[in-house]
């Protein structure tokens, strides 16, 4: 038996609770893992609250992230005792995820836990931080350089934004952080932001072309915020889009792209190939100070994750939430 958050759906609707689950109930997988930590992401909050049809199969254990130790493997890349990390691949949506003390997974989905991080630190990074690293990699690979100007990070107090600020600062960029939380200015400055922008400046409908401000953008918000960020990006700049906190719509014009040569790059973390994942984790290992994670992350228990999902949906969470599945 092991403990897990289980989402079930019946005639009365969806229910969520911590349950004791038989080992035999685990889904098929060629790698078995003792989970140490998971983390609460926006997609997990959607799954737990039922505010979006994220879960495709019931019953479901949420948790798109996990870090732990291999206990058994028939996969050629992994052996008992290996320390591993998982992000995405539909886990927590179509395959049981990390909000449990045990997991059974496809070994192709795993990457090694970097030696620089503990399992808890890896989950303080989680999908949000790994996505931030993918965004920074994309900006650098697109040729964006620190001397070209500021990088705008939207949703800056969230998981993606927090890690992106830290990584960009380490890479030598000047960062402008967009947030609606005036009380978090000091937090953002400690991460490395030199300018804080009120999100109200970006969150309403704006002109198709606006004053050139940003050499690059990391956007996790979407909707009007992304459209305005594109309209404010400098000639030849690059915008990375990885989230939809404000909305999935994109009420924009082609003007920034055809008149200023702005590039808009979509960043997918769920199905990204293994090579790209390893590169993203290598940047995190090299450029993210583990001590910075102390200010970014808050630890909770497995049972507390259910209420924390509501808080995340309400926008009252700062940084990252790490879930200790063994308490």
pLDDT tens-place string over residues 223-238: 999 999 999 999 999 9
Task: Outline which parts of the chain fall under CATH 3.40.50.720.
Answer: 126-266
Q: Flag whether pLDDT at 317 surpasses 90.
A: no
3-state secondary structure of 299: strand
Nearest by Cα to 2 from 99, 69, 122: 99
Q: Flag whether pLDDT at 315 surpasses 90.
A: no
Q: What is the pTM of this model?
A: 0.91
3-state secondary structure of 65: strand
- The CATH H-level (homologous superfamily) assignment of domain 126-266 is NAD(P)-binding Rossmann-like Domain (3.40.50.720)
pLDDT tens-place string over residues 67-108: 999 999 999 999 999 999 999 999 999 999 999 999 999 999
Position 291 confidence tier, pLDDT thresholds 50, 70, 90: confident
Mean pLDDT, the chain, rounded, equals 95
For a pLDDT cut of 90, what percent of the chain falls above it?
90
**In CATH, what number does 2-113+292-324 get?**
3.90.180.10
Position 7 confidence tier, pLDDT thresholds 50, 70, 90: very high
Task: Outline which parts of the chain fall under CATH 3.90.180.10.
Answer: 2-113+292-324
**Contacting residues for 245 by C-beta, under 8 A, at least 6 apart:** 42, 155, 158, 220, 221, 222
């Amino acid at each position: 038996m092991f403990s897990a958050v289980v989402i079930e759906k019946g005639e009365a609707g969806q229910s969520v609770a911590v349950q004791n689950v038989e080992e035999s109930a685990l889904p098929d997988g060629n790698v078995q893992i003792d989970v140490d930590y998971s983390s609460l992401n926006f997609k997990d909050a959607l799954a737990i609250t039922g505010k979006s049809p994220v879960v495709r199969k019931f019953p479901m254990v949420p948790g798109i992230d996990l870090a732990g130790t291999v206990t058994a493997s028939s996969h050629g890349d992994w052996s008992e005792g290996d320390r591993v990390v998982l992000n995405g691949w539909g886990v927590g949506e179509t395959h049981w995820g990390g909000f449990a003390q045990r997991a059974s997974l496809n070994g192709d989905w795993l990457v090694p836990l970097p030696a620089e991080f503990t399992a808890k630190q890896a989950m303080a990074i989680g999908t949000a931080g790994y996505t931030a690293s993918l965004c920074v990699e994309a900006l650098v690979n697109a040729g964006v350089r620190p001397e070209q100007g500021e990088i705008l990070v939207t949703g800056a107090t969230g998981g993606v934004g927090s890690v992106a600020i830290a990584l960009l600062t380490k890479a030598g960029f000047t960062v402008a952080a967009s947030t609606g939380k005036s009380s978090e200015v000091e937090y953002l400055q400690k991460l490395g932001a030199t300018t804080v922008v009120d999100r109200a400046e970006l969150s309403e409908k704006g002109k198709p072309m606006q004053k050139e401000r940003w050499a690059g953008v990391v956007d996790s918000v979407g909707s009007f915020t992304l459209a305005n960020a594109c309209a404010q990006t400098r000639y030849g700049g690059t915008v990375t889009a990885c989230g939809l906190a404000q909305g999935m719509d994109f009420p924009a014009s082609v003007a920034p792209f055809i008149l200023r040569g702005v590039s808009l790059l979509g960043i997918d973390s769920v199905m990204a190939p293994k090579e790209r994942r390893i590169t993203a984790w290598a940047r995190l290992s090299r450029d993210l100070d583990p001590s910075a994670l102390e200010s970014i992350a808050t630890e909770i228990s497995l049972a507390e994750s259910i209420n924390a999902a509501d808080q995340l949906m309400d926008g009252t969470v700062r940084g990252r939430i790490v879930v200790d599945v063994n308490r």
